[in-house]
Structure 1
Amino acid sequence: MDDISPAARDVFARTWTDDRPWEFLSRLTALGDRMAGTDGDRRAGELVAEAFEDAGVRDVEYDPFEMACWTRGKTTLTVAAPDSRSFEAVALPYAPSADVSGPLVNVGYGTPDEIDEKDVDGALAVASTTTPAGGRFVHRMEKFGYALDAGAVGFLFVNHVPGQLPPTGALRYDEEAPAPAAGVSKETGDWLRDYAERGGEARLTIDAETTPGESRNVEGRVGPDTDRELVVCAHYDAHDIAEGALDNGCGIATVVTAARILAAMDLPLGVRVVGVGAEELGLTGAEHLVDRLDLDSVAAVVNVDGAGRFRDLVAMTHASESTATVVSRVADESNHPIRVEEEPHPFSDQWPFVRAGVPSVQLHSDSGERGRGWGHTHADTRDKVDERNIREHAMLTALVVRELASDAAAGAVSRLDDDDLAAAFRQADFEVGMKAAGIWPTGWD
């Protein structure tokens, strides 16, 4: 990487002590509610646009899109037997207004095998937010969908992290779910499992509304004007119960900081920089972006969802040998470890691109713990962030983008094949869960 220009090297050097990433994150998290379709979401988009322009991103503009706006009302969870008592619960986005009752059935981690072992017909299924070690992480949408297919009338999602932290997270992609679900704390889950063993019954009542709404992507460009381009993105929305500092305030702060470095670099391809809206409610902003762009002109995508949170950078390369090669080269030449995970998944903004055959990498980071930790709870606050991670991961992100642009310009970045992708998702044991969640592509059958 000796060919980096003096101007870019100067920006790299200043990044080590730059206080703007922290200032941006502070302003973003101070908004509180950044749920897609709300006023906080609109104000967050304005902050992203200002930050892009300050970083040297040109032609910054808003690209609005329609989405299903979900509004939270009151949620109650009451155990009717063997005791009579109420617990705190948080409705999961796209849960409908509903009032359901039934026996509590503990389905453990909520994997398909565990649900198959229990009779959940007419029941409230109780499942953990985590999954067994040694296998892939089973997503909330898969657990919910599979439980409903087995006859459950409701779903209770139990955090595996202590601290009275009921979790949230969408049940469907940009549409109302067919049955109610709520998150409960680890401590509440302990009681629910106990009651389930004793034949307990519960009632879940949710007041919520899904209506037509609008969010927006924030777009701009760095580098030359070329026919082909790279897309670098991070979502800036968050759930309404927390500040969303880790998920994904750190990610969008990393992209803003990386954009400042990229704007000073000599790049062989243009780069479209995007703050993506409505990721948490169904990857809706990314879907809109894919629908609008000429994907033949998109050489590759770098999605920053999870980078900047923790010390160790992880590159999820989603079955792309091309992006894995680039990340490994950056790690070697920068003398900085980046763990490469080739296994794909459909639960972040790279998915619509991957599904269309665009080689992608998701930059994440590893806390050493399995699961989201404080993410998707009211504990996802700014005090959890170490700003040094944002600055360092931004520098690595810029290097990955630069190297990926160089390889793409040289014709060394290959498209993804549909058959190979379907095989990779089947190899990772995703087919059953994705079909239960309603997101398995019809062309892959």
Structure 2
Amino acid sequence: RSRRGARGVTTTEFDLPVWRRGDCSLAVTEPARREFEAFALPYSPPGRVESAPLVDVGHGTKEDVQRVAEELDVVEGVSGDLSDDADLSDTVVLASTDSPADGRFVHRMEKYGYAVDAGAAGFIFYNHRDGQLPPTGALRFGREAEIPAVGVSKESGEWLREYADRDGRVTLSVDAATDPGTGTNTTGVLGPETNDEVVVLAHHDAHDVAEGALDNGCGVATLVAAARVLADLDLDSRVRLATVGAEEVGLLGSTAVATGLDLESVRAVVNVDGAGRYRTLRAFTHGTDAFADVLDDVSDRANRPIAVEDVLHPYSDHWPFLRRGAPATQLHSVTPDRGRGWGHTTADTRDKADSRNIREHGMLTALLVQELAARDVPRPDDDALRETLADAGMRPGMEAADVWPAHWD
């Protein structure tokens, strides 16, 4: 701790609904009997679905669910815009991890929510990438979900798609439990004792199926690298460093930090989730255009590229701060392909990490934080955030995922 220059380092607990996996099974029962390897998805409830019709909803968007329901002739009186009358009652819905090439990234929780809203009895999430890698990921934020759900590999998914096309049926069983528990956050501070501060955080939790080296071990390592640089820099305001738990299951650790601070005193938030994974740093501005100018200045100063994107989403640890009025940016990496890559699979292991990327992204993070400690960034407007998300077509998905803020209604 002293080498990094951090002081006041403390670890605190927060309430966490702890999900524990048990046995899981998936088998096609018609037109043939065949078993498939599957992982239960976090917050799946225990349950068994017996020989239910299997329906393939492709990318799992709301439009996909409506289209499949119409093809099955189970929607009555629906025309024009997508309605809430799509009915896939008592089926098991099969959806890909992929998103439409001409559209935005559609989160897993949105796809699950659409299936639940359509009355499905079960949900199967299949990877769109090769390698016998079933995906994982929470179904709901911080609570047990409604219907049993599992992840399967691309290879299994291709077989299941074929069986769905042949009016196949599946039996799905999940043994799991969700009980009260706790998670932990660790925080410390650098720089002068001022009334205002910059918050820099990275989530230290990962899914239980792998090491979580990329998601988000690289992010935590990037934060530590940045802290070592910051300890030797002149800072105009205090910097609060935090590693937080339970991002993967509901942003619960970051919510505990956000609710415990006076956010009026928070100049800016830097969410290090995805940085350090690949060569080029990428930053999401999350509705605050002023971040782009700061990031461009850091890029010029360091003579290193930073890909700045005007992206706004609610699925990482910036969100508890942003929705409470603190400007927040997320540091990620330019990825070879769209999607999570090795993340959320058993292949998210340490050999995928490159220390050179972590060092460079740590240095860039430190320079960004130094700039934000000295420069004013406008605070986000709640109505503007709502309108931006709605205009981007995010509202239906966020409502299906149960993350649309209630006060925005």
Question: TM-score, normalising length from structure 1?
Answer: 0.86
Aligned twin of 1:156: 124
Are 2:338 and 1:366 equivalent residues in the alignment?
no
Aligned twin of 1:244: 212
Cα distance in 1 for residues equivalent to 2:237 and 2:102: 40
Find the partner of 1:426 among 386, 390, 395. 390
Superposed counterparts of 1:30-45, under 5 Å: none
Aligned twin of 1:274: 242
Distance change >3 Å, CA 237–CA 53, structure 1 → 2: farther
Cα distance in 2 for residues equivalent to 1:322 and 1:57: 28
After alignment, is 322-331 or 225-234 more displaced?
Answer: 322-331
Aligned twin of 2:22: 73
Shift of 1:354: 0.9
After alignment, is 123-132 or 184-193 more displaced?
Answer: 123-132
Aligned twin of 2:41: 92
After alignment, is 363-372 or 246-255 more displaced?
Answer: 363-372
Shift of 1:329: 1.4
Cα distance in 1 for residues equivalent to 2:212 and 2:354: 14
Cα pair 2:54 2:93 within 8 Å, conserved: yes
CA offsets per residue over residues 130-167 of structure 1, 9 Å max, x none? 10123210000000001110111111001011111000
Question: Is the partner of 2:116 in helix, strand or coil?
Answer: helix
Instruction: Name structure 2 gaps, 5 residues minimum.
Output: 70-87
CA offsets per residue over residues 165-214 of structure 1, 9 Å max, x none? 00000001110001111100000000000000000000110000000011
Shift of 1:243: 0.4
Aligned twin of 1:122: 90
Q: Aligned pairs, how many?
A: 390
Cα pair 1:343 1:428 within 8 Å, conserved: no
Are 2:69 and 1:105 equivalent residues in the alignment?
no
Are 2:26 and 1:62 equivalent residues in the alignment?
no
Shift of 1:443: 2.0
Cα pair 2:307 2:334 within 8 Å, conserved: no
Superposed counterparts of 1:20-35, under 5 Å: none
Instruction: Name structure 1 gaps, 5 residues minimum.
Output: 1-51
Letter in structure 2 aligned against 1:323 = F
Cα distance in 1 for residues equivalent to 2:225 and 2:253: 21
Question: Is the partner of 1:134 in helix, strand or coil?
Answer: coil
Find the partner of 2:292 among 312, 324, 331. 324
Letter in structure 2 aligned against 1:306 = G
Question: Is the partner of 2:374 in helix, strand or coil?
Answer: helix
Are 2:162 and 1:198 equivalent residues in the alignment?
no
Find the partner of 1:398 among 357, 366, 379. 366
- The percentage of counterpart residues that share the same residue type is 56
Are 2:403 and 1:439 equivalent residues in the alignment?
yes
Shift of 1:220: 0.2
Distance change >3 Å, CA 53–CA 164, structure 1 → 2: farther
Please give the root-mean-square deviation of Cα atoms over the aligned residues, in Å.
0.9
Superposed counterparts of 1:127-206, under 5 Å: 127-206=95-174
Aligned twin of 2:347: 379
Shift of 1:114: 0.5
Larger helix proportion of the pair: 1
Superposed counterparts of 1:294-305, under 5 Å: 294-305=262-273
Cα distance in 1 for residues equivalent to 2:199 and 2:258: 11
Cα distance in 2 for residues equivalent to 1:59 and 1:386: 31
Letter in structure 2 aligned against 1:84 = R
Cα distance in 1 for residues equivalent to 2:190 and 2:251: 24
Aligned twin of 1:255: 223
Question: Is the partner of 1:296 in helix, strand or coil?
Answer: helix
Question: Is the partner of 1:293 in helix, strand or coil?
Answer: coil
Shift of 1:54: 4.1
Letter in structure 1 aligned against 2:34 = R
Cα distance in 2 for residues equivalent to 1:328 and 1:419: 27
Letter in structure 1 aligned against 2:65 = I
Cα distance in 2 for residues equivalent to 1:56 and 1:431: 43
Aligned twin of 1:335: 303
